[in-house]
Amino acid sequence: MAEHGGLDTLVRREPPPLDRVRRERADTGGSGGSDESGGGGGLGRNPALDGLRALAVLCVLVFHMDALPGGYLGVDVFFVLSGFLITGQLLAERDRAGEVSLIRFYVRRAYRLLPAFWLLALVGLVAVVTGIDGRAGALGEFLGSLAASAMYVNNYVQVVRQSTGAGWLGHTWSLSAEEQFYLLWPLVLVALCRRPRLARRLPVVLLAGVAAVALWRNVLAAFGASATRMYFGLDTRADALLVG
């Protein structure tokens, strides 16, 4: 579960002495690693998780080649890993420094994601402007997707458009869903860590959240929601992130 274990100990523990924190940071090379480097900041790299991520990538790629009907489930694997790794990074920081800096967390996210995102956007823009893309209306579509992706709402924009996720930035719907989760979940986790009695019940809260998302999906399906609505929305995909 996104709880990541040992939460009771974390919320009760006093901040470690500053000299100990400095020694630990020196031993780990400074910052404790990237927040998604395989085990979350300060948890060490886990080759098994890297392998699982590679397998998920392969499944999604093969799915888009119409060779593996269930390959889209690789996205769920990504969501589970993301929930696990991000929660691990937050709890590791709480254990190491005695508190979680939300500002530092969001800065790390921006530092990790924005360079690759804007490089992709630049490549896509060049392809559209020079005519390499070749589709009618490609520029307008690209600029709209770019704005939605930059604001991390591309998943719901695609729901409104009833899109299939095609185009240069279509696949950033999953990034939008993850970032929406990352905006909310650290706030919830920090609030729980400040209330030990609530923190001890975190597994129950997470299980209730998973059940609520599953129930909500069934309600939407019963009322005829489209497959696009069911697939792209954070409210219909958050259970995988909570499982992590």
Predicted confidence at residue 8, as pLDDT, reads 43
- The structural domain count of the chain equals 1
CA angle, corner 197, sides to 196 and 202, nearest 5?
85
Residue 227 covered by a domain: yes
Predicted confidence at residue 238, as pLDDT, reads 94
Predicted confidence at residue 138, as pLDDT, reads 80
More confident residue, 34 or 244: 244
Is pLDDT above 70 for 223? yes
Closest-CA residue to 171 (of 75, 59, 81, 82): 75
Predicted confidence at residue 208, as pLDDT, reads 92
Could you give the CA distance from residue 146 to residue 127 in angstroms, rounded to a whole number? 14
**Average pLDDT value for residue range 151-176:** 86
Predicted confidence at residue 44, as pLDDT, reads 64
Residue 28 covered by a domain: yes
Is pLDDT above 90 for 180? yes
**Average pLDDT value for residue range 151-170:** 85
Helix (H) or strand (E) holding 9: helix 7-12
**Average pLDDT value for residue range 29-35:** 38
Q: Which residues contact 49 (CB under 8 A, 6 or more apart)?
A: 38, 39, 81, 85
**Average pLDDT value for residue range 24-29:** 41
Scored b (16 or more CB within 10 A) or e, 71-101 reads beebbbbbbbbbbbbbbbbbbbbbbbbeebe
Residue 148 covered by a domain: no
Could you give the CA distance from residue 183 to residue 187 in angstroms, rounded to a whole number? 7
Residue 93 covered by a domain: yes
Predicted confidence at residue 168, as pLDDT, reads 81
**Average pLDDT value for residue range 159-168:** 78
Is pLDDT above 70 for 133? yes
Is pLDDT above 60 for 215? yes
Residue 121 covered by a domain: no
Q: Which residues contact 64 (CB under 8 A, 6 or more apart)?
A: 71
More confident residue, 53 or 44: 53
Predicted confidence at residue 183, as pLDDT, reads 93
Residue 141 covered by a domain: no
- Give residue 186's identity as a one-letter amino acid code: P
**Average pLDDT value for residue range 22-50:** 51
Could you give the CA distance from residue 140 to residue 122 in angstroms, rounded to a whole number? 15
Predicted confidence at residue 166, as pLDDT, reads 66
Predicted confidence at residue 3, as pLDDT, reads 47
Residue 145 covered by a domain: no
Q: Which parts of 102-175 are beta strand (E)?
A: none
Could you give the CA distance from residue 206 to residue 239 in angstroms, rounded to a whole number? 9
Residue 222 covered by a domain: yes
Structural domain that includes position 83: 7-111+174-243
Q: Are 48 and 39 in contact (CB under 8 A)?
A: no
